Amino acid sequence: MRTWLATLALIACNPDEVERERPDAPRSSLGLRQVEKLPADAEALATGPDGTPWVVADGSIWCRDGSDTWVDSGRGDLPVGAVPFLGAVDDALLAYVWGKGLHRAEVACGAEPSWSLAEDGLQAPILDIVSPVARPIPWQLEGEWLAAAGGVFRTDDAGRTWQLAMSGAGTDLALLFTDLATSPDGELWATSVLPSSLLPPEFEGLLKGTLFRSTDGGETWVDATEGFPSKYPLGLAFRDDGVLFVGTQDQGVLRRTESGWSTLGGPTDVVALEWHAGGLHLASASRGVWRWEDGAWSGVGNGPAIDVEGGVGLLADGLVAGLAADEGQRPAGAGDATVHVVL
């Protein structure tokens, strides 16, 4: 869900703005391990409320049924084109076709879907600054909330219509909203970045990654970035006790503490993040998918990862990872690269 919008350029980096946390890796009870391989390269991943994983591969919509077999549900009448975004809400899938908009279909695993355009209300004033014909591009769906290029949107009818909840026009040109997460006590957090390609080179030093926080269900938002050391936040996840983790593209995973921010080590080029089954899952732009639990890392794959969602990790080459018993390992060469986003 994250890698499709970015051209990822790796450059050497050893950030020292945060406390580096690198304990010896103790035993971890669960780890991510390869469980299967799809027959084609993958584009996007979503997990339904019932736990069913859905994947776009080879232009078709695939799902894993109750017998743990992957089923090709076909594409139905979805317009031709790349599908870089897939989201699941209630009994429906949302699919963004590059250049042809966001579409919605009520789905059942193995049944060919029937799609309709789902962009009613999906408009963002800030995009008029970029192009009069530009429309919001979905990035991440979190329940009823959608993070997109152009703003944060909310749906109260399972993706049929949308309402703009926050636009970058009033948030220091925060153009690309990359993730949303809700804390155990109901606070809503969002991340955004301003891609460097929108600014002349002499202004690139002004780039800012922003954290936003809402305590009233998304009615109002405040900038919660003070002290945050990265310009490239892409993912958010809350632990069950309310501890906040932020995945970045230059400093890996940062954990919010009473005294500031500390890093967990691991891959620095995080494109997706989730807390699942007592551990933190991340997708790396270049090094597969990983799980952190009690200070230990386990991972699978060496190439670009698409997403982690619902305990499932997906790599661009179609490798699917799932949870299994594991002793944990620390990623080799952790902290040795930065990934910048360029539209």
Half-sphere exposure in the Cβ direction for 27 (13 Å, CA): 2
Looking at the DSSP bridge assignments, the partners of residue 161 are 120
pLDDT given for residue 338 in this prediction: 33
How do beta strands 163-167 and 151-154 pair? antiparallel
Look at residues 194, 123, 128 and name the one whose alpha carbon lies nearest to residue 152: 123
Cβ atoms 30, 64 nearer than 8 A: no
Look at residues 202, 201, 257 and name the one whose alpha carbon lies nearest to residue 229: 257
Six token digits for residue 81: 């084109």
pLDDT given for residue 128 in this prediction: 73
pLDDT given for residue 11 in this prediction: 30
pTM of the model: 0.85
Q: Which residues, other chains included, contact 182 with Cβ-Cβ below 8 Å and sequence gap of 6+?
A: 142, 143, 188, 189, 238
Look at residues 98, 214, 209, 78 and name the one whose alpha carbon lies nearest to residue 145: 214
pLDDT given for residue 5 in this prediction: 40
Report, as ranges of residue numbers, the positions in the chain whose pLDDT lies below 70: 1-29, 130, 167-174, 195-207, 325-343
pLDDT given for residue 256 in this prediction: 95
* pLDDT tens for each residue of 108-124: 999 999 999 999 999 88
